[in-house]
Amino acid sequence: MLMILYSLLFLILVIVSINDLRTFTIDNKFILMLLALGIINTIYTENYIDNILAAFIIFIVLIISSFIGLKIGMGDIKLISVSAFFLGIKGVFIAFMIGMVLSAFVGLILLIIKKIEIKDKIALAPYLSVGIIVVLILLK
């Protein structure tokens, strides 16, 4: 059962990442699909408190952070929040940090080779997706 859930999660993350690279948006239908899969995962694994608390905490922390200066889109906030239903409190923060470090590294390289300017935005979903997948592989 978990392999099916994780396979669907991976597929949706790939689609979301490609879409974000092209349009800088994350469609809510994919967030809702991930939420449904995450709820099924939470019920199946019986990690109710950890997963629900993780989703709530990461959502609130990122919403507050976005209001005080962190440049992160609402789609990215929703993406990492619903991933908490798969990763739990520890895993979601690790996945978020992996995604942020990876995006900063790629962004720096793109700046150095002059593919972007400092004021340009980059799609965050591909890097968050890598963080989510890494945590699933290493911690689950």
Q: For the CA atoms of the chain, what is the radius of gyration?
A: 15
What domain range is 53 assigned to?
A: 2-139
Count: domains in the chain? 1
Three-class secondary structure of residue 92 per DSSP: helix
Q: List per-residue pLDDT tens for the chain, 140 residues long.
A: 889 999 999 999 999 999 999 999 999 999 999 999 999 999 999 989 999 999 999 999 999 999 998 889 999 999 999 999 999 999 999 999 999 999 999 999 999 898 888 888 899 999 999 999 999 999 86
Instruction: State how far the alpha carbon of 16 is from the alpha carbons of 13, 29, 95, 117, 129, in Å.
Output: 5, 10, 16, 24, 9
Q: What is the pLDDT of residue 7?
A: 95
What burial class does residue 45 get, using C-beta atoms within 10 Å of its C-beta: 0-12 exposed, 13-18 middle, 19+ buried?
middle
pTM as predicted: 0.93
Backbone φ and ψ of 93, nearest 5°: -70, -35
Give CA–CA dist 106/103, Å, rounded: 5
Give CA–CA dist 38/6, Å, rounded: 10
Backbone φ and ψ of 124, nearest 5°: -95, -25
> Do the Cβ atoms of 83 and 92 come closer than 8 Å?
yes
